[in-house]
Amino acid sequence: MRINETDGVSASSKHLVFAYYVTGHGFGHATRVVEVVRNLISAGHDVHVVTGAPDFVFTSEIQSPRLFIRKVLLDCGAVQADALTVDRLASLEKYSETAVAPRKSILKDEVEWLNSIKADLVVSDVVPVACRAAADAGIRSVCVTNFSWDFIYAEYVMAAGHHHRSIVWQIAEDYSHCEFLIRLPGYCPMPAFRDVIDVPLVVRRLHKSRKEVRKELGIEDDVKLLILNFGGQPAGWKLKEEYLPSGWKCLVCGASDSQLPPNFIKLPKDAYTPDFMAASDCMLGKIGYGTVSEALAYKLPFVFVRRDYFNEEPFLRNMLEFYQGGVEMIRRDLLTGHWKPYLERAISLKPCYEGGINGGEVAAHILQETAIGKNYASDKLSGARRLRDAIIFGYELQRVPGRDVSIPEWYQTAEDELGLSASRSPPCTPEGDSTVKLSTEDFEILHGDCQGLPDTMSFLKSLVELDIIKDSDRTPEKRQMRERKAAAGLFNWEEEIFVARAPGRLDVMGGIADYSGSLVLQMPIREACHVALQKISPSKQRLWKHALARHNDKGQGPMPVLQIVSYGSELSNRGPTFDMDLSDFMDEGKPMSYEKAKKYFDTNPSQKWAAYVAGTILVLMTELGVRFEDSISMLVSSAVPEGKGVSSSASVEVASMSAIAAAHGLNIHPRDLALLCQKVENHIVGAPCGVMDQMASACGEANKLLAMVCQPAELLGVVEIPSHIRFWGIDSGIRHSVGGADYGSVRAGAFMGRKMIKSTASGMLPQSLPSSNGLNNIEPEVDGVELLEAEASLDYLCNLSPHRFEALYAKNIPESIVEHQFVILYTRISESRHLKHC
């Protein structure tokens, strides 16, 4: 159901009491609640706001005896390490501390309070336990939001381990007690709600005109004005005068007490931000519902920097960019002050949002009608069951846009009209198509036969289309995805482009124990990663504007630069582009250490993906002594599903290194290339994987099984698959990551178990030797000095037979052990540090 307009919230004949719960995450939720509450109070109702936000957020806009503020925090939202970084584990632990541990007392207190104020309706934005408390009190409840915490926390559980999974189910169950959801634009998948009413943007009204605000600030109308709106500055960050273009001024929200440069103006903490936004020429900040909705409403160009691990951001970002309102700034350029190219780009935009901005009024009308007794909802299923049913549904929404019927209209329209799909190459063109012939004629096929690889044919065709995008003025800017536009400006089309392909793989047998030395059978799958690479003189490379500005600031001539575009970023929270000076890989005349490289890429999680690609360059420099004097431009397009255990990361590494090797004339044997790619993932990305994935991608053959003993990488050859047998991989809906907590725990546990076995065997050896009377000191079943010696130096768990393990060692392996006990009993400190990183 969609409601766009109302005749206002007319005064009801019945005086109503609303209990409005506001989540504890930041001020953004509180500021949009203000607009709904203002309309409810204008209609003559009492509103009790339950919040942890400061009073001034509400009282600066609403001065009424019908507004009651109750300072209680019933959830914590996302815990932020700084203005741009969410701490996922801390968020789950804080929620458990705030809302799970005291749950019984919270419910008891809230039920008593709701009954004491005689609430007619409970409204939540979007506190989970409020819905359950309302149900226990026998009061109807409604949620108003663009996202729900079960969706946000689901990915955090992936990083933090399964022991927090119950939090997600409990939140979903709480939401299921809500009658329906008033859904705001830019929304995420929210499977816990079945009944939905869509409303326009909720935007705070303006108090002053642009002219009035500028007059009060003493800023002329022709002066370019930036508003810096981060809700707090990154730690240790100091603003400098040269960050702004000449003649610009900047308004700073939430500034620290440190002195600002003369072209920066500190706003009071209680400043009414919408007025200052409407008086500005562009905004620099982080994406949230409040900043995006008000930037669209006021047609204010928005230069944004991604936040790490906040899952609502991709949906808001797509809305912002569809209406031509957004420019992404790389975090490195934010912190180092390279703002000028982004600001100049922003003021050239023409934001075009023309939709409704009266969502606060519309939502208030719906809430009033619901409190009076109108029924908007239908029967619904269990929230937890709906969430389980929707996990794959939600994952498909992120990875394959256009399939979900509840995708917002602006979103589905953008995807369908563009004909673009994240993580997918364009559809294969039928044989004989002239466009395909044109694309193949423009490329030299270095290895393999393109006729047997339809996805490669499609990828080559997409490169030709990029050249068309670059030269075409027919396509409106808003109909081009940012990653495609970046790719169109990536290559010099007069120079050679090298293309490499590497498939994902299906683990047919043994892969779970690759780090224990098992025999594995791996099958390459038809989904693959393609990388297009151009090696080019720095003087001929087409640099992005921000990279060019960075070089100009250094006052140096052309230098080798690495530029990468990654397709498939638009629906996940990673940046579509990455660039760096190749000299950044050098440290005092030598390639930087892997440890320093890992820290380099860890600095900005939204661009950490680049470690899989750029890391191949550093490994070649370090292991083979290769030096890169030319610039490198790379386009990465992978159809291998991410997070599904089919080696999406290995395919990217293998395709990237293969393309680099081909462009630079390096003849690397596939097995050696796989081992080099493993170094990328182990040491630069920091994921503790074995080499099986890279081996399968580099050495596997189509329609055959690659046999390998992982000790560490003994290739046994390929196994023919009988013609009557087919292998299928079924998506379980559970995300997988070799960098995840669960994988790391299991792997570390295997190595700890091996150490315990070696220690036990070493302790048995003296007893197995003949004593002075010629007899052994241990039972016959343990006899065999050679076996014990081998087990005392055991390299791989798979070399220990199950019978030996059960007979000698199983009883000595504890089910659990804490770190300091393990160190004392089984290993030295240096070895324990290795275990942490293995």
pLDDT at site 558: 87
Confidence of residue 483 (pLDDT cuts 50, 70, 90): confident
C-alpha angle 579-584-590 in degrees, rounded to nearest 5: 145
Q: Are 326 and 317 in contact (CB under 8 A)?
A: yes
Q: Give per-residue pLDDT as tens, 577-624.
A: 999 999 999 999 999 999 999 999 998 888 899 999 999 999 999 999
Coil, strand, or helix at residue 221?
coil
C-alpha span between 127 and 107 (Å, rounded) = 13
**Residue spans of beta strands (DSSP E) within 195-235:** 196-198, 225-229
- pLDDT tens-digit map of 30-64: 989 999 999 999 999 999 999 988 898 899 889 99
* Average pLDDT of span 410-425: 36
Q: Is the pLDDT of residue 640 over 60?
A: yes
How many other C-beta atoms lie within 10 A of the C-beta of residue 825? 12
Query: CA distances (Å), 585 to each of 20, 143, 687, in order?
Result: 53, 50, 20
By CB atoms closer than 10 A (0-12, 13-18, 19+), residue 101 is: exposed
Band of pLDDT at residue 448, cut at 50, 70 and 90: low
pLDDT bin (cut points 50, 70, 90) of residue 466 is confident
Choose the weakest-confidence range: 86-100, 333-347, 476-490, 712-726. Answer: 476-490
Query: Considering the chain, what percentage of its residues have pLDDT values greater than 70?
Result: 81
Condensed to tens digits (0 to 9), the pLDDT of residues 515-548 reads: 788 999 999 999 999 999 999 999 999 888 888 8
Most confident of 55-59, 198-202, 723-727, 773-777: 198-202
Residue 396 to residue 394: CA distance in whole angstroms: 5
The pLDDT of residue 12 is: 65
Q: Could you tell me if 208 and 275 are in contact, meaning their C-beta atoms sit under 8 angstroms apart? A: yes
Q: Is the pTM of this model over 0.75?
A: yes
> With bands split at pLDDT 50, 70 and 90, how would you rate the model's confidence at 378?
low
- Could you confirm whether 693 is annotated as catalytic? yes
Average of pLDDT values for 198-204?
95
Q: How confident is the model at residue 286 (pLDDT cuts 50, 70, 90)?
A: very high
Determine the Cα–Cα distance for residues 122 and 18; give it in Å rounded to an integer: 6
What is the band of 7 on the pLDDT scale with cuts at 50, 70, 90?
low
β-partners of residue 577 are 565
Residue-wise burial string across 527-548, b where 16 or more C-beta atoms lie within 10 A, e elsewhere: bbbbbbbbbbebeebbbbebbe
Residue 469 vs residue 752, higher pLDDT:
752
pLDDT at 420 over 70: no
Residue 545's pLDDT is 86
| Segment 628-634 mean pLDDT | 96
561 token code pair: 């630069």
pLDDT at 2: 62
Above pLDDT 90, what percent of the chain?
Answer: 55
Lowest mean pLDDT among 15-29, 562-576, 618-632: 562-576
> Is the per-residue pLDDT at 405 higher than 50?
no
One-character DSSP codes across 305-335:
-PPBT-TTHHHHHHHHHHTT-EEE--HHHHH
Q: So what's the pLDDT on residue 656?
A: 98
Residue 447: the pLDDT is 55
Catalytic residue among 120, 125, 514, 693: 693
Residue 412 has pLDDT above 90, yes or no: no
pLDDT for the residue 400? 34
User: Does the pLDDT at position 830 exceed 70?
Assistant: no
pLDDT confidence bin for 431, thresholds 50/70/90: very low
Backbone angles phi, psi at 611, to 5 degrees: -60, -35
Least confident of 327-341, 382-396, 554-568: 382-396
Confidence (pLDDT) at 615: 98
Average pLDDT on 290-302 reads 96
Which one has a higher pLDDT value, 237 or 387?
Answer: 237
In tens, the pLDDT along 689-731 reads 889 999 999 999 999 999 999 998 899 999 999 989 999 888 7
Mean pLDDT across the stretch 630-646? 92
pLDDT for the residue 403: 31
pLDDT in tens, 131-152: 999 999 999 999 999 999 988 8
The phi-psi region of residue 424 (left if phi > 0; otherwise alpha if psi is between -120 and 50; otherwise beta) is beta
* H or E, element range at 536: strand 519-536
Task: Please state which of the ranges 202-206, 423-427, 572-576 shows the lowest mean pLDDT.
Answer: 423-427
* First-residue to last-residue Cα distance in the chain: 52
Instruction: Give the per-residue pLDDT at 419.
Output: 36
Residues 605 and 596: beta-carbon distance below 8 Å: no
pLDDT of residue 201: 97
pLDDT interval class at 495 (50, 70, 90): confident
* Mean pLDDT computed over 3-23: 79
Better-scored residue on pLDDT, 838 or 310: 310
The predicted pLDDT at position 341 comes to: 94
Residue 314 near residue 570 (C-beta atoms within 8 A): yes
Question: In which band, very low, low, confident or very high, does the pLDDT at 193 lie, cut at 50, 70 and 90?
Answer: confident
Length in residues, the chain = 838
| Least confident residue range of 152-166, 517-531, 729-743 | 729-743
Sign of CA dihedral 464, 467, 471, 472: positive
Highest-confidence range of 26-35, 483-492, 584-593, 802-811, by mean pLDDT? 584-593
**Rounded mean pLDDT, 798-824:** 89
Which residues, other chains included, contact 583 with Cβ-Cβ below 8 Å and sequence gap of 6+?
A: 559, 560
Split at pLDDT 50, 70, 90, the class of 642 is confident
User: What is the rounded distance in angstroms from the CA atom of residue 135 to the CA atom of residue 557?
Assistant: 68
Average predicted confidence (pLDDT) for the chain: 84
Measure the CA–CA gap between 269 and 426, rounded to whole angstroms: 49
- The arithmetic mean of pLDDT across residues 72-93, rounded, is 88
Q: Quick check: 432 pLDDT over 70?
A: no
